[in-house]
Amino acid sequence: MLQSFSGINEVCVVGVFDEILGQAIQAFVVTDSEPAPTEKEIKKLCLSHLENFMVPKEIVFLNSLPKTPNGKVNKIVLKEIIANGIAPQDTISNTNSNNRKPENSGGQRAVRQLAE
């Protein structure tokens, strides 16, 4: 769904632990245009198509998604980025304003639907 947004080249969403909901959504986005869509614009698009709990609370913009040797998105690396609260300096282009760890809401169903 997110890849239908103009200016978004690649997207990957992962489920992460959330103290309140158990499972939360973190979205990683690679843009292909300048100016790139903002986090607010992406969330607005999500809200118009998804239930509130399915909207990522935080979106991390990367220059590229980490890939495995066979070309698939390496979600283990993305989860390490989340666990450390930062992205590798050579891949990140924009994070949230205070570089805190994500505090998302959502669930596995939302993760699957966002990735489609």
How much is the pTM?
0.70
Q: Which pLDDT value is given to residue 90?
A: 40
Q: Which pLDDT value is given to residue 44?
A: 92
68-73 long-range Cβ contacts below 8 angstroms, 24+ apart:
73/10, 73/12
Q: Which pLDDT value is given to residue 21?
A: 79
Q: Which pLDDT value is given to residue 6?
A: 82
DSSP secondary structure code for residue 115 in this structure: H
CA distance linking residue 37 with residue 41, whole number of Å: 6
Alpha helices (H) along the chain: 39-49, 75-84, 108-115
Q: Which pLDDT value is given to residue 23?
A: 86
CATH number at residue 90: 3.30.300.30
Question: Containing domain of residue 34, as a range?
Answer: 2-115
Low-confidence ranges of the chain (pLDDT < 50): 88-116
